Structure 1
């Protein structure tokens, strides 16, 4: 997760967007509402959407019908907490302004291998209540032509097919909605009768507690792993019996049990195992994948060695129990009351679970 970067950084990043080095973004880098597009990006974004495929949820009337409409293109991926926290705004805008000429289009550009599976993405969109059109961008063809550089990415396209604003990251949704209303008015659709009511996400889609967020995302695959504390360090691509560290400091982690750490994720190879992380945030999430046999894998979450009680997340109960059923992001903790440094431990009941990345909010 990246927070509070200057717009100058965004400009530099977009210059280099021919490469697909992507980041999950926290608070917005900035909203540009000038009649420009990012350097290196297509000046004909609707032509790109005309040839994009496959569509998981089709544009009614086909992509050609987007011409003459105000379009928001949102780059997202379903296991990214930053993408998930943007969904309440996109869904609300689609509902508020859909009959005034606005179309929201999701471009699902996967971060992890399991997100390449269209069936899993379709399941996720159903569970998340995403009903607007979505295209699967597994090879990043649309991403590269837009010169996008992170999740979530937002591109505001006017009725003449020009990119009139863009933003990388969460935040400034009021500015985004005002730009939508301006573009609709320019196209001859008067949105003034539609109230600008507040939008608030619930559950896993609730806005982050930015004031108390001091933990960045932390990957468990060796490709991006850092601050690992188990004695002996990470061993790549081999099954190893790991032991818990004597202690974990803020934003460090360890493993217990037999694990095989690959480039993208760590897989539990033993009968039981645990992951421990010291964090400072209201919410703690972990992207998890299920076992090859498809059966649920039970897990238990503890906070500082005790059941989480009222601080349990959406995917665990007050005693900390939960199950891995689908490959997705799981909310383990949502703290109540004052926020401090806490240690979350996740214990798994049988082998096969895959652990990808911790994220916080």
Structure 2
């Protein structure tokens, strides 16, 4: 397909816009003397096939995708692929350069990451989702668009196709592999499983709140529910409901949620470290303990401090369960539950 034909079928990739910082660039978080961005789309078009990937570091869906991005980068970087991560924050703590830098190191990310704190690039691409991946061809057209996780082999086949096109356009001879990166266990989507959707605690999006006043900020005191209904968020004790999160204000405050899935994650932080106890179906966790849970005298305990995604439950089997969190001390700030 020539450029004229592409003009009528595809949109051109917009420029990276309003980027505030960089990781994995020679001058990380430093703009050039002219004030322009250190990495631009126009510099890449005509040289590379570009995979533009929108992500945010507290999202389990985004973190699962990193595995494939890393493998594709290593496999195709010398054949003309440039992976560019656009970190657009969902929560305010994700605007911190230090927090993003921690995540890049924690998850061993080697490709460039651009900090899109003002949503400039997000809006330029017309994006509304985390994660989302765009493939930009040698001529600068967005020829492939994938929302969410899954579809990894389809994406890789398109990468291979665009690398062949690049080689022909530049007149270079390269051997593009035809094999595909193997899927990890659990990444072949089972559409028959109904997994609980993300649940938010802040007034901005806490429509799942089962008691108290959803959508309202300020201090509220919650009573223990008589019945726990699936998909409904219950709090007990005193909580201060902020726009993005809820902060525990009383000793022994609780979070209760009946979920469907195999894994449970909590996005949380605390100015001072706070210990929480975690139960499932009224029992402390056993072999299904997540990576952030430790066992202390038969009690499943987790310490929350840094703002990030915490893994509470990792079960080999899908099922329906009730998760209960007991907060030992005030000061726990909880943003969201996510499930897999």
Same fold (TM over 0.5): yes
- Residue 257 of structure 2 is aligned to residue 257 of structure 1: no
1:315 matched to 2:292? The reply is: yes
Shift of 1:248: 1.1
| Kept after mapping to 2: 8 A contact 1:37/1:164 | no
Q: Does 1:76 align with 2:76?
A: no
> Given that residues 150 and 188 in structure 2 are in contact (C-alpha distance below 8 angstroms), is that contact kept between their aligned partners in structure 1?
no
Q: Does residue 283 of the first structure (1) align with residue 263 of the second (2)?
A: yes
Residues 62 and 229 of structure 1: is their aligned pair in 2 closer, same or farther, counting only changes over 3 Å? closer
Determine which of 39, 44, 47 is the counterpart of 1:66. Answer: 44
Output the CA distance in 1 between the equivalents of 2:232 and 2:8: 39
Match of 1:215 in 2: 196
**Contact kept in structure 2, 1:234 and 1:261, CA below 8 Å:** no
Separation in structure 2 between the aligned mates of residue 111 and residue 37 of structure 1, nearest angstrom: 34
Which structure has greater strand proportion?
2
Distance in 2 (CA, whole Å) between partners of 1:128 and 1:197 is: 19
Q: Which ranges in structure 2 are unaligned for 5 or more consecutive residues?
A: 28-37, 168-172
Summarize deviations over 1:276-326 as a string: whole Å, max 9, x none.
1000111111110222xxx32111110011012011112213542111121
**Distance in structure 1 (CA, Å) of the matches to 2:275 and 2:120:** 38
Contact 1:284/1:333, CA 8 A, preserved across alignment: yes
Answer with 1 or 2: which has the greater Rg: 2
Residue from 255, 262, 283 that aligns with 1:306: 283
Give yes or no for the alignment of 1:57 onto 2:36: no
> Which SS does the other structure have where 1:228 is aligned?
coil
CA contact (8 A) 1:213 1:360 kept: no
Contact kept? 2:278, 2:301, Cα under 8 Å? yes
The answer as to whether partners of 2:18 and 2:120 remain within 8 angstroms in 1 is: no
Change (3 A) 1:358 1:36: farther
1:163 to 121, 142, 165: 142
Q: Which residue of 1 aligns with 2:30?
A: none
Partner SS for 1:148: coil
CA distance in 2, matches of 1:166, 1:332: 32
SS in 2 for 1:78: coil
Structure 2 counterparts to residues 35-184 of structure 1, below 5 A: 35=6, 43-45=12-14, 48-49=15-16, 52-58=19-25, 62-63=39-40, 65-67=43-45, 68-184=47-163
Contact 2:18 2:116 in 1 (8 A): no
Distance 1:201 1:99, change over 3 A: farther
User: What residue is the counterpart of 1:190 in the other structure?
Assistant: 174
For residues 102 and 174 of structure 1, what CA distance do their matches in structure 2 show? 16
Give the C-alpha shift of residue 97 in structure 1.
Answer: 0.7
- Structure 1 residues 95-138: Cα deviation after superposition (integer angstroms, max 9, x where no partner): 11111111100001111111111111111111111121011111
